[in-house]
Structure 1
Amino acid sequence: MDDFVRNKLVEWGLSEWVGKFKDEQIDSESLCELDDQEINNLITKAGPRVKFKKNLKLLKEEKNTNQETVISFQCQQQHEDVADVVQCEEEHEEAADVVQVLPSTSDTGKRKPDLESDASRLQSPAKRQRQSMPGFEEPTILSNVKNIMAFVHSRLNEQDKLSAFLKKKISDLETNKRELVGVFGKTGAGKSSLINAIIKEKNLLPSGSVNACTSVMIKVEANTYSSKYEAEIEFITKEEWNEELWSFRQFLDNNKNQKKEDDDYHDAVEKLSALYGDDWRKSFENLMDRKYFKEIPEFLQSRRKILTCESANELSAEFVKYTRSDSKQEESDEGKTWFWPLVKCVTVRVPNRPLLQHVTLVDLPGNGDCNKSRDQMWKGIVGDCSTVWIVTEINRAASDKEAWGILESVSSLIGNGGECQQIHFICTKSDLLDDSDDLSSADIHDRIVKRNIQANDGVRKEFNKRSKIKTHFTDDSFKVFTVSSKEFLKGKHLSPEDTEIPKLKGFLQELNDCHSETVNYVNGAYGILSLIEGARRRKEGVGKADDVCKVLEKNMTEKLDQVKKAVEKAIKDFEQCLTEGVKNSKTSDEKLKSFLDRDKQPSFFKTLEAVVRKDGMHKTKKGEHINLNTVLASCLTDSIDEKFRKTFPNDVKGGYFDGVISRFSLDTNSLIQKYQDVKLQLIFLQTEEDKIKAKLNKIILKEKKIIYNSLTEAIEKNMKKCYEDARKISGNDALKKMRKTIETHVSLNRNMYEDAKETMLEKMDELMMIICKELKETMDHSIKLSLKASALSESLPDVSEHLETVQQHYNEDLLHTVTAET
């Protein structure tokens, strides 16, 4: 789903259906192609459906009138005096001489002489942008180049292969990837206050109550299409909640004498009471009745709920019931319904926050959720985070077992199994001092600074002891911050810089600014316009083009061979490592035995019962993360971790497969010097190289996570039957029998390690085929279309001025890149 569709739905008063359109991936291209049946499936209510069809019809009529012109090109400034108006009209008249006139909309076959409509619609963007181009802000540059490419797109026909190829290339320029920053921390550590301070919204995320905790995932990002504060709520499905109710009923019936402090008993009661009050205690029979979901009909309709407010305070009050769990409810909350047990994720969008234009902060609850889709989303988001923040209070940061436990439990998910490049260990509440009443402001400042230095040193020493974390991350990727959200907002004893909030904001700004959307778009546009202009100009030199093709195809064969050999070598190395890992499977058995030997602990039976009920994974109330599947897979993951990190570094600049992908080149630079007649076509191929390498980096980053996690997933799949059998055990000696069941299953299924190894190697082979296929097919097709297609100068538009404009932006980007690197 793109911003165009979202904006239209909001504009038409249909914002509550945004989630459904997003789920079905309806974009600007597919919106106008929807038929009646598809619209009925998307919008299930008659009233909104009628409104949608009416507006869609008007949109189609407008599109037809504009001859598929995507964007209406108008003067950028609102002219305030007569001289400006005259200048604008002169530009329109000049544009009429250089821009192809659209077919007539009149019955006589002649163009209507309507200056206001046609001239503004057809005006060449390059003409009006040339004067004010120097010093453009990045969003303005991106907008201008998008306008140019939309204009060119509208003037290309689809009657020949080259034009169709060019239209697709322009459409493929659109990108909208966001950088994810995952925020972890136990209740009361100050996560919400930290995020509020970062985005300068003191009361956006609820904080302050030690009895309340964030129970669902909350994403915070910029609202780029509206000036409102918005929360988009995604629910689990009705079927999933029904299954949870059944599980709760079975659990509570089988544990009627359960102690209230038991983790699972507490969780079940808390969820049921939040949504149903005391009704669930009377009967489980009618808990899916519609009366319980009157406020959230979207849940029953499998749609997302959209909350829109004018202020952060108002939105916070609205969405708190969808995100928070209160262990000790106040009397004023009696009878209040909380919907967080039904929520998978809440996305909060804040207006006028350029800092979060390309960055999303994700407030993450702990893992171990019994809901499968919620757990899968959690794992997916964690694996997609480019940065992870671990938030803890400064007074015990180095010794906080839960904070370090969180980091250790996710290290493989965010490291080799993810794409995290940096870990920020954030020590909060740095302004809180004991016995500071009689101290001067200067003394308080000095004591805070001194303690911050001590905390920083202590955390770094602790990091160096954590071998499990250091397997996936180097010292350079680990940073410590000592922050005070309170002091940043009030500034009583510390300067803003001393609170280190500005440092975190600076990091986010860099992450936001380094987003390559503008650079990638400009580079791609430059290549496409070069190809169009090169094809138009080419009248002779066809023989030279054939010579260039032969050289390029030869270079392609050689470079592809290098890529294939590098990947094959990596696969062979991994096979050797995994073979050794299978031989060392006893190390995993020993770790499993160490866990099961806790049977003398009073509460261990309940812990093991929870572990098998959740297919090997459980998080205790004390913060301990247990995953028997990763324990068993450790013999394999330990054998490849170091090699895997070097082969698939999360910092893409390091280069995958020892940099063979980043070094891939058809040597177009030297060919440009030799074959000036096809220089523009070769420039296009240069930009195509950059695009395909960027695309491959994304593919590899995605696939490497799947490859690494396949080891644990294969073990989990093998252990599923074991957990099912263990769940059925009850009565006398249940703990002993449960333990025996697990040990016997593992000893009789030694082949699961070999199966996991083969699964990973198969996925590596698949990746090699994807890489080689993408490189060969993309570049082959681009070479043939750019150099072998016949010159169709009559059908291709004149883009010389557009090329000049975009080339200047391209050169500016190149200059900025070189300057930054030096």
Structure 2
Amino acid sequence: MAEGSSRPCGGSDDSLEGNPKKKCRRDQTPEDGEQGTLKNCKRMQNELKTILEKSSQKLSQFLPVISQPGAREGILYLRNRLISLKPDILMDPIYIGLFGSTGAGKSTLLNAIIDKNFFLPVSGSSACTSCVVQINTSRSKQHEAKIHLLTDEEWKDELKGLVALVDPSEDSEDNSERSEAALKISAIYGKGAENKSYEELCRMKPIISIPPSRCTIFRETTAEELSDKMCPYIRSPTIAAGEMTEEDRKMQIWPLIKNVEVTLPYSQVIPEGVVFVDIPGTGDFNSKRDEMWKENINKCSVIWVVNSFQRILGEKIHEMLLREGMKAFQSGMCRDISLVATKSDDLNLEEYRWEKKKKNINKHDAILERNEAVKQEKSRMIKKKLEEKLPNDLEVVHKADLVYTVSAREYWQKEILSKEETEIPKLREYVRKFYIKQKRNVLMDHTMEAITIFSLIWSLRANKHAQYQLAKRNHLREIIVQKIADLEKDIKECFLPIEQPLKEGVEEAKKSYKAAIRSILSRNHGYQGYHQTLRAVCLKKGVYASRTFYRIDINSSLAQPIYEKIDMNFGKVFRIQMGTCSTLKTCLDAFKEAMQQKLQEAQIKLMADNEHKLAFLKQETDFIVAEAEKLVLQKKAEIYQSLVVSIQNDLLLCYEEAAAVRGQQAYQRMQTILSNGIMRAVESGMFERAENSMREHLQNMKEQITKKLEEDFSNMLSLAFCPWDQLDGKLPDLQNEFLNINFIHKTLQSATTS
């Protein structure tokens, strides 16, 4: 916006929600309305970018005329703050995770969501996706896929475990873990390599071509061409040795694939900046891929637990996945979770008619009737679990749509259900609305931060007389030091609700750990070779993602009684986004309000001649507290996982000893080693050490918060009360920019409240 304009930036004829008259058109779709909203967001973002660039340029041009050291550093700080405000807010990714077991239909669902049938590999007879796959859109006209491979060190770390699983001295009974390990080794080193030692394999040259960059990139003009190129790399092998096609040989690199990033040209069905993450349901044997598995779950703002309709009606795997997903509320960025039932059109009409005593119902009505019944049943189940684990003030606990029943097949074929009845459009609409809400809030935060900076610049002209400024700064510093000391006490009290449940959880864990051991070590699986699965668990320090037995985690199972006791209060304390009366956010908010009150009182004594200085100090206080809240978000996962990490560390030697067992009755001997080892660890205080570890992490967080606040407020005061005598009458005129940003912020506020 040019300086001196008679109308503030953004104009009064265009609101964030678009032109109301356009909404009345009969042919307008929800996508059109949301596209209008996004267009206005983009316009305001661009206007903000222009204002920030002009303002930082003015400050840069002003720097050469300043010689006073303190003043120069201050102007540099303000200019860099303006530059650091990321202008492309709408490009910051929002992750939506599709989390489900193999064969659940995640890839088929994702193909329908992005409106590209058979883009990701799908199979009617076997599981396909073998790694984490991310899909996003960009303004590029090309379709791109980046195939990231494990480093040599990461692969060799996995190779040790694979060799242990295919030890030739072991019996040759059929076992899925052993078979998969042998398949991985032979895929990389050739037929018969599975019988060689780790040292021999390390000296061998792989039979496949591995790019030095450990990354293969495909760029194609069409989705079909990209799909043909990338699919062999992200599909699990389903062929037996000796029956390979040319495409199968391309697939031989699959054991080395870490993750795949796919970028598609911009499409109206999905906003630019939304990243879909296809997450395997259980993790991975490879330590790095399993670490990425956890990271991907924790960075997702939305998690869809995906499973096929028949499995949801029968198996309980979706409940296990829901529990895993709900952990992201405690330790990650998750704000919403839903169950997505795929293949909702898969119904035997005659059986349904007989079961429901409805001889004349047609398939269309039967599908919709059954879908609604399953929605109600599973919604009650999910709501109950959410209420048990999460604070009542969370929006997800009360939301209407906890379950979606979708049919990707009918989305394309439209033989029985309409597109709307497949609920694919409903999921897209949810994604767009969630995206718009999040981006609008972030845009508001950025405009508020810019206003903070302009407020200070506005107030600088009044900073005269060094001794006077120093006295004012010292007076406020004493107030702030006292308030931070008060906050430290409040944070300590804030953690108290976790203390008693933590103690109770430890006592419960000491009582129930034997049952947890039995459930993992002594269950009758009905499969041969479970001792190899157990060896894999031990090789991976108590955690293993099995395709047959799903995710096995001894450490989490032992810690589960503690988590069941602390989960509710932990959520209340660390639910930074919501702020109930007993959360850590409430402590920080109370501290912020107390600071604002003290600054208001100081206005009378210290800043009666400078309203803008008070406005800056208040707004900068908001910013500093918001930065402290970010610290909480970064650290809460570490605190939450401290119990499991402590237990795992206590049992490392036990796992190593069990993993080394070979020969006859290996399974029974591993059971004994693990049972006795866990028992000794419990008797020596394993759960108490885990309890103390969480307490230490809580104490460290309290100290980090207070230290950060002390440093940030000290910098704020030094800047705000630096004497600017030399600058009087020379500061650049940024009044028009200040007014324009204020207008953008008020427009955003108005749209949000409406």
**TM-score, L = length of structure 1:** 0.76
Cα distance in 1 for partners of 2:455, 2:565 equals 49
Please give the per-residue CA displacement for 1:536-570, whole angstroms capped at 9, x wherever unaligned: 4x377999978975775566346434432221113
Cα distance, 1:363 vs structure 2: 0.4
Task: Give the structure 2 partner of residue 384 of structure 1.
Answer: 299
Pairing of 1:248-647 with structure 2 (within 5 A): 248-254=162-168, 257-260=171-174, 262-276=175-189, 278=191, 280=193, 285=200, 292-294=207-209, 296-299=211-214, 304-328=215-239, 332-333=245-246, 336-338=249-251, 339-353=253-267, 355-412=270-327, 414-435=328-349, 443-463=362-382, 470-472=388-390, 475-476=397-398, 479-513=402-436, 514-515=438-439, 516-536=441-461, 538=462, 553=477, 556-557=480-481, 559-584=483-508, 585-598=510-523, 603=528, 604-647=530-573
Cα distance, 1:389 vs structure 2: 0.8
Cα distance, 1:295 vs structure 2: 5.9
- Give yes or no for the alignment of 1:146 onto 2:146: no
Contact 2:287 2:540 in 1 (8 A): no
Cα distance, 1:367 vs structure 2: 3.0
Task: Give the structure 1 partner of residue 25 of structure 2.
Answer: none
- Give yes or no for the alignment of 1:710 onto 2:636: no
Contact 2:603 2:614 in 1 (8 A): no
- Give yes or no for the alignment of 1:701 onto 2:639: no
What is the letter of the counterpart of residue 143 of structure 2? Answer: Y
Contact 2:135 2:261 in 1 (8 A): yes
> 2:665 pairs with 716, 733, 737, which one?
733
* Alignment size in residue pairs: 688
Task: Give the structure 2 partner of residue 21 of structure 1.
Answer: none
Cα distance, 1:700 vs structure 2: 0.8
Cα distance in 2 for partners of 1:539, 1:737 equals 77
Cα distance in 2 for partners of 1:464, 1:528 equals 44
Gaps of 5+ in 1: 1-75, 77-123
Cα distance in 2 for partners of 1:557, 1:238 equals 51
User: Which stretch has the larger CA shift, 160-169 or 549-558?
Assistant: 549-558
Cα distance in 1 for partners of 2:189, 2:112 equals 35
Task: Give the structure 2 partner of residue 198 of structure 1.
Answer: 113
> 1:648 pairs with 554, 563, 574, which one?
574
> 1:810 pairs with 726, 729, 745, which one?
745
SS of match in other structure, 1:218? strand
Contact 2:10 2:47 in 1 (8 A): no
Cα distance, 1:131 vs structure 2: 6.9
SS of match in other structure, 1:731? coil
Task: Give the structure 1 partner of residue 702 of structure 2.
Answer: 768
What is the letter of the counterpart of residue 501 of structure 2? Answer: C
User: Which stretch has the larger CA shift, 666-675 or 511-520?
Assistant: 666-675
Please give the per-residue CA displacement for 1:55-103, whole angstroms capped at 9, x wherever unaligned: xxxxxxxxxxxxxxxxxxxxx9xxxxxxxxxxxxxxxxxxxxxxxxxxx
Task: Give the structure 1 partner of residue 130 of structure 2.
Answer: 215
Cα distance, 1:274 vs structure 2: 4.1
SS of match in other structure, 1:215? coil
SS of match in other structure, 2:330? coil
Cα distance in 2 for partners of 1:495, 1:210 equals 26
Cα distance in 2 for partners of 1:313, 1:716 equals 46
CA RMSD in angstroms, aligned pairs only: 3.6
SS of match in other structure, 2:717? helix
| Sequence identity percentage | 27
Cα distance, 1:491 vs structure 2: 3.7
Pairing of 1:33-48 with structure 2 (within 5 A): none
Cα distance in 1 for partners of 2:190, 2:289 equals 23
Cα distance, 1:742 vs structure 2: 1.6
SS of match in other structure, 1:326? coil
What is the letter of the counterpart of residue 398 of structure 2? Answer: D
SS of match in other structure, 1:732? coil
Cα distance in 1 for partners of 2:359, 2:451 equals 61
Cα distance in 1 for partners of 2:748, 2:523 equals 60
What is the letter of the counterpart of residue 582 of structure 1? Answer: V
Could you say if the C-alpha distance between residues 712 and 540 of structure 1 is closer, same or farther in structure 2, counting changes exceeding 3 Å? closer
User: Which stretch has the larger CA shift, 616-625 or 317-326?
Assistant: 616-625
Cα distance in 2 for partners of 1:264, 1:290 equals 24
What is the letter of the counterpart of residue 214 of structure 1? Answer: T
Task: Give the structure 2 partner of residue 162 of structure 1.
Answer: 74
Contact 2:105 2:342 in 1 (8 A): yes
What is the letter of the counterpart of residue 281 of structure 2? Answer: G
Contact 1:280 1:287 in 2 (8 A): no
Task: Give the structure 1 partner of residue 26 of structure 2.
Answer: none
Could you say if the C-alpha distance between residues 319 and 615 of structure 1 is closer, same or farther in structure 2, counting changes exceeding 3 Å? same
Gaps of 5+ in 2: 17-39, 67-71
What is the letter of the counterpart of residue 769 of structure 1? Answer: E
What is the letter of the counterpart of residue 660 of structure 1? Answer: C
What is the letter of the counterpart of residue 432 of structure 2? Answer: Q
Please give the per-residue CA displacement for 1:512-549, whole angstroms capped at 9, x wherever unaligned: 1123332222111122122223224x377999978975
Could you say if the C-alpha distance between residues 487 and 652 of structure 1 is closer, same or farther in structure 2, counting changes exceeding 3 Å? same
- Give yes or no for the alignment of 1:722 onto 2:654: yes
> 1:178 pairs with 85, 93, 96, which one?
93
Cα distance, 1:238 vs structure 2: 0.8
What is the letter of the counterpart of residue 97 of structure 2? Answer: G
Cα distance in 2 for partners of 1:517, 1:271 equals 45
User: Which stretch has the larger CA shift, 772-781 or 283-292?
Assistant: 283-292
What is the letter of the counterpart of residue 351 of structure 1? Answer: P
Could you say if the C-alpha distance between residues 635 and 430 of structure 1 is closer, same or farther in structure 2, counting changes exceeding 3 Å? closer
What is the letter of the counterpart of residue 797 of structure 1? Answer: P
Q: Which has the higher contact order (CA 8 A, sep 6+)?
A: 2
Please give the per-residue CA displacement for 1:479-513, whole angstroms capped at 9, x wherever unaligned: 11111223334444434332222222222112211
Cα distance in 2 for partners of 1:659, 1:132 equals 35
SS of match in other structure, 1:667? helix
Could you say if the C-alpha distance between residues 535 and 461 of structure 1 is closer, same or farther in structure 2, counting changes exceeding 3 Å? closer
What is the letter of the counterpart of residue 701 of structure 2? Answer: L
**TM-score, L = length of structure 2:** 0.82
- Give yes or no for the alignment of 1:688 onto 2:620: yes
Could you say if the C-alpha distance between residues 364 and 441 of structure 1 is closer, same or farther in structure 2, counting changes exceeding 3 Å? farther
Task: Give the structure 1 partner of residue 685 of structure 2.
Answer: 751
What is the letter of the counterpart of residue 202 of structure 1? Answer: N
User: Which stretch has the larger CA shift, 807-816 or 487-496?
Assistant: 487-496
Cα distance, 1:293 vs structure 2: 4.5
Could you say if the C-alpha distance between residues 632 and 553 of structure 1 is closer, same or farther in structure 2, counting changes exceeding 3 Å? same
Please give the per-residue CA displacement for 1:76-133, whole angstroms capped at 9, x wherever unaligned: 9xxxxxxxxxxxxxxxxxxxxxxxxxxxxxxxxxxxxxxxxxxxxxxx5775995764
Cα distance in 2 for partners of 1:440, 1:295 equals 61
Contact 1:405 1:624 in 2 (8 A): no
- Give yes or no for the alignment of 1:796 onto 2:731: yes
Please give the per-residue CA displacement for 1:320-379, whole angstroms capped at 9, x wherever unaligned: 132111313786446622222111111111221463433321101133422111111111
Cα distance, 1:279 vs structure 2: 6.5
SS of match in other structure, 1:738? helix
Cα distance, 1:451 vs structure 2: 1.3
- Give yes or no for the alignment of 1:667 onto 2:593: no
Cα distance in 1 for partners of 2:173, 2:494 equals 53
Cα distance, 1:772 vs structure 2: 1.6
Contact 2:330 2:640 in 1 (8 A): yes
Could you say if the C-alpha distance between residues 689 and 321 of structure 1 is closer, same or farther in structure 2, counting changes exceeding 3 Å? farther
Cα distance in 2 for partners of 1:697, 1:737 equals 49
